[in-house]
Amino acid sequence: MDQYIGRLLDNRYEILEVIGTGGMAVVYKARCHRLNRLVAIKILKDEFARDEEFRRRFHAEGEAVAMLSHPNIVQVYDVSTSESANYIVMELIDGISMKQYMEKKGVLNWKETLHFSMQIAKGLEHAHSRGIVHRDIKPHNVMVLKNGSVKVMDFGIARVMNKSNTLTKEALGSVHYISPEQAKGGHTDNRSDIYSLSVVMYEMMTGRPPYDGESAVAVAIQHINGGAPMPSTLNPNIPGGLEQIIMKGMALEVRDRYASATEMLQDMEEFRKNPAILFQYRFLRDDSTQAIPLNTQPRTTAEKKVQAKTGTRATTDSIRLHQSSQTAPKRTTGVVVNVENQSIRRAQQRRKAEVRKKEEERSRVATTAIVICSAVAVIAIVVFLVALFNGALLNKEKDIVEVPYLEGETYGAGFAEKYADFNIRTLPQEYDDTYPAGQIIRQQPEGGEKVQRGSDLWITVSMGPEPEAKTMDNLVGASGDDAYNLLENQGFAPLTKKESSDVYEEGIVIRTDPIAGAEVTVGQTVYIYISTGPDVVMEPMPNVVGMELERVKELMDQLGFTKVRYEPMESQKPKNEVIYQSVAKDTKTDVTSEIIIHYSEGPQETTAPTENTQETTESTTAPTTEETEITISFKVPERDTEYRLEVRPKGSDEVVASKLVPPGVASTYVNLKGTGTQSFDLYADGEYIRTESVPFS
């Protein structure tokens, strides 16, 4: 049993049960006796609680986050660090994590993605305005409530958790969403959260994160190098404007991202108002890894026209230019003859002569000035060249450094710090049969060259040998275990997920991702969706003995029982009266399980009954005075809200049966006892409906 369950922390919080476990803490459901409310308490595991510096930072960060108050942030009520336990008290959320929601729904549509993302961004905006950076935004840290709203949790705690920058097992849950600067162990700020949010949006729209690999280090290197496939290549239904927002937020260079969550929210709001909008973002073009590409497919008729004429993607400006060129009036040429009298022409000639004379005088003055200025300029240039070659350039020669030989070195976190004299820049990774993954295969400038200190040094990192391309097998209908073993033996990384199915039995493969026939590579992650069988629906078995066969069939259909076998039996009971049921009344039963019901064929006819037979017949058919319990189906008013149905003997106030009727139900059943045929009054929330006759024999 867990050591904390049943304990009372700080004479206030009673630990009730475990509701979640993480890499560094366990989350419990607890009751606050001071305020009489349920809360969630995150208690640090012992290995972290023993570190005094860790506890100090944990307490300081927790107190800072407790100052946050926003509808999209899980509220922190209290923080405590003591010898007995180190914990944070938070509001208890009735919902599931965004990760669980995405696993259940698969690829989200753009409206749902925008709805959730704007709420997360609003929570980030509030925290950033208070100087708090999350540093671990991922679907696991976002809770989805039943009303469709979301709350971000673990604000500020991530910085404490990431005291070590090494990528260990604890980093595996976060490395798919980590920013490049975090992967390199560099400085992080609010734009790191924007990057992680954009990665979450990418996964919402495509069903997978932008980078994946066999290890945390491999994924981190991909974040550092950039070059994620455009979301529209994985989901062609993503609108262009939303794709631009995602890719701007995921820009490799920090300066190319949104400067704040507020700026990102403004673009989200513009897109929400006009889903056809395309933004005119500007990115650096001197580095191919930093230029964020946009979807090159034209999305409007105007774009298609411009692209057809120019061969380039249409922007808002190019569309406007193209349209204006179509509507601009065309000029016509011709000769315009002005007829003037001779006196006017002579006056013009006199004025021209005067102008020429004045221009000649100004020209002589200007020539003299030019000669003097040229002499001064020549002297200035000579002085400048002497100073340049004898001073500035000579000083610069002292700042020349030699380029190191980097080929074969391993690129990773802290690499740039080793070569502080250069600005290390990365080109897209390449497959290489000679160098293992992570090693540098090419550099520019080459080793041994002399360059200015601080110059760019471009490197290309190997991804290892290129995996052999294969075609995905069709595993639908196969055993889940067989499919898993087959993919694992072929060198893939299979992951299984459970789904209910009315078509495939439990343990059978429903589908795979990638689908059959798709091109796959060794080491790639393949998702196997395995059937858990149809959803199980349990219903209490009614008492149908003594009821007429047709009414029983109607009742069983109404309750959803699908495998009911009706068999005739010899009996002295009236014809078609049910005399046996294989499942006892009120027993919770799977509606798909088999139920056997026997009904009477009716009394056998005899032509000459003997005296003894006559006596037997009389005794058999004589009416009985014993009460019989039957289940009877009544038609009831179909209402929008729940109400209580009461059954009373006719003319009496005694309630012999009572039942809540859900909204939208037009008939229901109740259990009644009686003899012969009796009449009952039906009431809905005390209001009389009608009178029904019920035969008990």
CATH code, domain carrying 433: 3.30.10.20
Among 462, 479, 495, which residue terminates a domain?
A: 462
Please give the radius of gyration of the chain, using alpha carbons only, rounded to the nearest integer: 41
Give the three-class secondary structure for 317: helix
Q: For the chain, what is the mean pLDDT? A: 80
Please give the residue that has the higher pLDDT: either 223 or 20: 223
**Segment 296-329, tens digit of pLDDT:** 444 444 344 434 444 444 443 433 333 333 333 3
Please tell me the total count of domains within the chain: 5
Task: Kindly state the average pLDDT of the residues 97-110.
Answer: 92
pLDDT at 349: 64
DSSP structure string for 58-93: HHHHHHHHTT---TTBPPEEEEEE-SS-EEEEEEPP
Residue 383 pLDDT class (50, 70, 90 cuts): low
Q: In the numeric block, which tokens belong to residue 165?
A: 């920058």
In this structure, is residue 650 part of a structural domain?
yes
Residue 359 pLDDT class (50, 70, 90 cuts): low
In this structure, is residue 506 part of a structural domain?
yes
Note whether 130 and 252 are same-domain residues. yes
In this structure, is residue 312 part of a structural domain?
no
Residue 86 has pLDDT above 80, yes or no: yes
CATH code, domain carrying 198: 1.10.510.10
Note whether 164 and 257 are same-domain residues. yes
Amino acid at 59: H
**Cα–Cα distance, 132 to 97 (Å, whole number):** 22
pLDDT at 525: 86
In this structure, is residue 581 part of a structural domain?
no
Tell me which H or E stretch contains 174. Answer: none
Q: Kind of pairing, strands 594-600 and 563-569?
A: parallel
pTM of the model: 0.45
Note whether 257 and 108 are same-domain residues. yes
CATH code, domain carrying 695: 2.60.40
Note whether 161 and 216 are same-domain residues. yes
Residue 192 pLDDT class (50, 70, 90 cuts): very high
**Cα–Cα distance, 668 to 633 (Å, whole number):** 6
Residue 674 CA to its chain's centroid (Å):
59
Which of the residue ranges 153-157, 186-190, 319-323 has the most confident prediction, judged by mean pLDDT? 186-190
Residue 152 has pLDDT above 90, yes or no: yes
**Segment 413-448, tens digit of pLDDT:** 788 888 988 999 888 788 888 899 889 999 999 988
Residue 475 has pLDDT above 90, yes or no: yes
Among 246, 273, 300, which residue terminates a domain?
A: 273
**Cα–Cα distance, 586 to 345 (Å, whole number):** 119
The Cα-based distances of 116 to 75, 111, 133, 145, 270 in angstroms read: 18, 9, 19, 11, 16
Task: Kindly state the average pLDDT of the residues 604-626.
Answer: 50
Please give the residue that has the higher pLDDT: either 342 or 594: 594
**Cα–Cα distance, 174 to 151 (Å, whole number):** 18
Of the chain, the percentage scoring pLDDT greater than 90 comes to: 33
Task: Kindly state the average pLDDT of the residues 671-691.
Answer: 89
Note whether 456 and 512 are same-domain residues. no
In this structure, is residue 602 part of a structural domain?
no
Backbone angles phi, psi at 417, to 5 degrees: -65, -25
Note whether 407 and 479 are same-domain residues. no
pLDDT at 29: 94
pLDDT at 463: 85
Note whether 86 and 100 are same-domain residues. no
Alpha helices in 560-636 (DSSP H): 611-621
In this structure, is residue 253 part of a structural domain?
yes
Please give the residue that has the higher pLDDT: either 51 or 594: 594
Of the chain, the percentage scoring pLDDT greater than 70 comes to: 79
Note whether 153 and 232 are same-domain residues. yes
Which of the residue ranges 213-227, 256-270, 505-519 has the most confident prediction, judged by mean pLDDT? 256-270
Note whether 133 and 269 are same-domain residues. yes
Number of H-type helices and E-type strands within the chain: 19, 30
In this structure, is residue 229 part of a structural domain?
yes
Note whether 49 and 175 are same-domain residues. no
Active site residues: 136
Among 415, 433, 462, which residue terminates a domain?
A: 462
**Segment 364-381, tens digit of pLDDT:** 666 776 777 777 777 877
Structural domain of 444: 400-462
**Segment 624-650, tens digit of pLDDT:** 557 888 888 888 888 878 899 999 999
Task: Kindly state the average pLDDT of the residues 233-262.
Answer: 93
Residue 135 has pLDDT above 60, yes or no: yes
**Segment 292-305, tens digit of pLDDT:** 455 544 444 434 44
pLDDT at 354: 67
Note whether 134 and 191 are same-domain residues. yes
In this structure, is residue 209 part of a structural domain?
yes
**Segment 161-177, tens digit of pLDDT:** 444 444 443 444 479 99
Residue 147 pLDDT class (50, 70, 90 cuts): confident
**Cα–Cα distance, 150 to 142 (Å, whole number):** 7
Least confident stretch, 126-140, 390-404, 473-487, 649-663: 390-404
Q: In the numeric block, which tokens belong to residue 240?
A: 């262009």
The Cα-based distances of 691 to 518, 548, 630, 679 in angstroms read: 66, 20, 18, 7
pLDDT at 432: 86
pLDDT at 631: 83
Note whether 433 and 524 are same-domain residues. no
Please give the residue that has the higher pLDDT: either 77 or 81: 77
DSSP structure string for 377-433: HHHHHHHHHHHIIIIIHHHHHTTEEEPP--TTPBP-TTHHHHTTTSEEEEEEEE--S
Residue 208 pLDDT class (50, 70, 90 cuts): very high
pLDDT at 470: 82
Task: Kindly state the average pLDDT of the residues 497-513.
Answer: 88
